[in-house]
Amino acid sequence: MNKKLIRWISWILFLGGILFTVSLFSLCVGSAGIPLKKIIALILEGKRTVEYSILFDIRLPRIILGFAVGSALSIAGVLLQGMFRNPLVEPYTLGISGGAALGVCLNIALRLSGRLGILSIPLTGFLGALIVVVVVYSLSTRKGIFKIQGLLLTGVMLSFICSSLVMLIMAISRAEDLHGIIFWIMGSLGEPQGFLIKVVFLVSMLGLFISYLLCADLNALSLGEEEAQHLGINVERTKRLLFLTASLLTGCSVSAAGIIGFVGLVVPHFMRMIVGSDHRILLVTSSLAGGAFLILCDTLARTVISPLELPVGVITGIVGGSLFVYALSKRQVSWGGK
């Protein structure tokens, strides 16, 4: 077994251990602290006590959703940063989050959830994200060529347009609707629908699987489009698949948990510094690290000023932004394959 493979396996096991530890810590802490021994006893007894409900009806679903969303955003960040060869690109750069936010704001302002049910909020969010994806894709395709620079500029402009429309809706909304819009925009993992959590988790794992099938193409594309074409890669097909996979991951995450910033920017950046630019290891480690990072941030969000709960996007913004500034000041990232 060569040294590189041993190193990769070591990092995967290490990050898996961190994910498990953070998840266990998140189960134990909160406004109602439950020690580990008590958790084990509750699992063995299986009695539907209040503490059992807190653990398995409230905290465990948040942990699963936190892993799914953190993993999905991190994978999307890896795909987009590799495709654009730019460490500042993140899933929200392309306007997908803006479209989802606009859809949810319209839902809340028109009070559609009262008539169509609570699931209409993530559905309208995903629909808004899907519309933006279709528009960005259409405007960035010319004569069968998917233009990367056009994609980035179009996405940024659509993001500004959606943000302006969201502010317009907020300006004319009722006070009670405004609170719901603001809280959703800042992100939360308190999604009560078990079905939606399962969907986001499955989409996240499917995205990781598809991305891993494309990791060799992505390694070649990181060298530049011309070099990748010389290596026999179908560049146009690869770019389309990468864009659609990243869009699906981002759209599902935003529609379920709101706008949670910096996860798709900071985690891939740090993992690239630690494990290198080879996407065969970068995708897996980013998935594990992204899940652990978001679970930890959510735990802080609900315990810092307990019993009140902060939006998790506030914590990821503060922690992620600070870490990113530190990373930029310490080291430059190599984009070549390693």
CB atoms within 10 A of CB 164: 12
Q: For residue 110, what are the contacts with CB-CB under 8 A and spacing of at least 6?
A: none
- pLDDT, residue 337, reads 45
Q: Vertex 67, ends 51 and 108: CA angle to 5°?
A: 85
Q: So where are the chain's domains?
A: 3-330
**Helix H or strand E segment including 145:** strand 145-146
**What pLDDT is stored for residue 332 in this prediction?**
53
Give the Cα separation of 320 and 263 in Å (integer): 7
pLDDT in tens for each of the 338 residues of the chain?
A: 588 889 999 999 999 999 999 999 999 887 777 888 888 887 777 777 888 888 888 889 999 999 999 999 999 999 999 888 887 788 888 888 889 889 988 888 888 776 666 678 888 888 998 899 899 888 888 777 777 777 888 888 998 999 899 999 988 888 878 887 888 888 888 866 788 899 999 999 999 999 999 998 888 888 888 888 888 888 888 888 998 999 999 988 988 888 898 899 889 988 988 998 899 999 999 999 999 999 999 999 988 887 788 889 889 989 888 887 877 776 654 444 44
> What predicted TM-score, i.e. pTM, was given to this entire model?
0.89
Q: Which pLDDT does position 331 carry in this prediction?
A: 60
CATH superfamily of the domain spanning 3-330: ABC transporter involved in vitamin B12 uptake, BtuC (1.10.3470.10)
